[in-house]
Structure formats: C-alpha cells, structure tokens
Amino acid sequence: MKLKSDFVTHTIEDTQFLLSVGGKSFNGIVGNNETAAFIIDRLQNDVTKEEIVDAMLEEYDADRETVQKDVERILDTLRKINAIEEYSLNSADRSDAASEAPVDMKTTTFEELLRRDGKLVYQVKGSSMTPMLRERKDIVVISAVSGRLRKNDVALYRIGNNYVLHRVIKARSDSYVLRGDANCLSETIPIQNVFGVLTSFVRNGKEYSVANWRYRAYCVVWQTIFPLRSFLLRRRRFLITIARKQCVLPLLRRVKRSVMG
C-alpha cells in the first residue's frame, strides 16, 4: 500500500497535516497526531501493514497487539478518505479502496474547527486574493480571532454559505471594510461575523508568516497602488480591445513564445 499522489503532507508548528490536492472523493485536510504522522511517513513508499507495525515497534515502547490496533485504526481512517492505494496479493490490480463512504467535511464548519483546534489549514479556492494567494496551489493557515483586527490583516468570514478570505482595508468601531487583493469592490462586514485571521501561508512547501517584512512590504505597496490597479481593472476590456487593434497582443504573444522557446 502507498499514499496516493492526490495527498501531500506539510508540517506547521510541529503538527503534520495531510492535504487533498486533487482527490475527487475528499477535498479537505486532516491534522495528524504523532502516531498518524509516523504511519503516513512510512506510506510515502510502498509498504505493507506488517512492515509499518514492525517499524513502530522499533520506534515506540509498546506491545504488538496495541500497535496493530493503532495501525489498523489509522489505515481505516485513510481508507475512508480514499488516501491510500492498496494492491491485491495475487495481482498488481488496485483494490477498491473507495468502497467505504468518504468523510463528509461539510458536517464540520470552519467556525467549529477554529473553536475546537484554534487553527485551520486549507487549500486556497477562488482567485480574489491573487497575486498573494494562488487558487488550488497555496495553503493558508488561519487562527481564531482573539481581538480587534487591524488594517492589512486578512480576515476569514462567511457570506451566506460561502467562506471568504479578504483583506481589511479599514477597521471601524462595529465593522470591517474588506476587499480581495484582486478585486475593485469592497464589502462591509460586522465585527462579530469575522471569526478567523490569516497567520501564514504555504507556497511550494515553504511557509511565509504575515510577520515577515517582505509580506508587510507587499501589503503596503499593493494597497498604495490600488487606484492604478482599480483603473486598469475597470478598463481592462477597453485596453485589450485597443491592444488588439494596434496589433500589440499578437506581438507580445510572439515575444513570449520566442523567450520561452
């Protein structure tokens, strides 16, 4: 058996997270304890259950029966989210690892996860926070709100059935004015509706804290040039039309093809 390529691991503050980055039956994240993390690390390569048990017996001071139960329990959890591929003893065909119903992450809300764990990690969906956050590529780490947010904090809140992650551009006494980095329009949200705040994000396996000076510099620059960005975004269609008429776009495409080989 082996961990499927649709799942990747990332460690944040000594806690390992298992993330789905393309699975069809499960789209979420699982926080792993030490035992689960050990087993998942073994599953990076093709391994049998008994080999995992033997490895754990070498690592931990426990009897075989207890270890076998722990391994089976964690493997069952991984099967339920269709995270491992298993092979028949008599052939190289894959077994039907998806026969059990996948875990329904919709039964647990982001608010409940933050109240329970104090932290939330998930893969970015939507493009409203580009260029800082890339859709279905970057991972965000959210902490529960513990006080007033400040300008340039990135807040997590809900509008209807949708979760939104946008930047605070103005903090009022009873509300926040928020806007996505890629958006022109802003929205005003009551303070009590905001329950999470971005503390870091992960890109290409590297974690970036919001306390990093480069991130803070990005916030200042990006907000400073908002009038120009807004002007260009609002007139994007007009500018593209002009560029086509002046044969600028075909020229740029030819230059791009020549540069990229």
- For 139-188, what is each residue's pLDDT tens digit? 888 999 989 999 999 999 988 888 899 999 999 999 999 999 988 889 99
Query: Do residue 91 and residue 112 come from a single domain?
Result: no
Query: Do residue 196 and residue 244 come from a single domain?
Result: no
Q: For residue 138, how many other CB atoms are within 10 A of its CB?
A: 17
Query: Do residue 38 and residue 129 come from a single domain?
Result: no
Give a yes or no: residue 130 inside a domain.
yes
Query: Do residue 51 and residue 99 come from a single domain?
Result: yes
Into how many domains does the chain fold? 3
Query: Do residue 123 and residue 206 come from a single domain?
Result: yes
Query: Do residue 251 and residue 157 come from a single domain?
Result: no
Give a yes or no: residue 220 inside a domain.
no
Query: Do residue 101 and residue 119 come from a single domain?
Result: no
- For 124-140, what is each residue's pLDDT tens digit? 888 899 889 988 788 88
Name 179's bridge partners: 167
Query: Do residue 98 and residue 125 come from a single domain?
Result: no
Query: Do residue 203 and residue 140 come from a single domain?
Result: yes
Q: What is the average per-residue pLDDT within 50-78? A: 87
- For 210-234, what is each residue's pLDDT tens digit? 999 999 999 999 888 888 877 776 6
Give a yes or no: residue 218 inside a domain.
no
Those residues whose C-beta lies under 8 Å from the C-beta of residue 52, and which sit 6 or more positions away, are: 39, 42, 43, 71
- Which residues form the domain of 95? 2-105
Give a yes or no: residue 189 inside a domain.
yes
3-state SS, residue 204:
coil
Give a yes or no: residue 219 inside a domain.
no
Query: Do residue 51 and residue 146 come from a single domain?
Result: no
How far is Cα 261 from Cα 255, in angstroms, rounded to an integer?
10
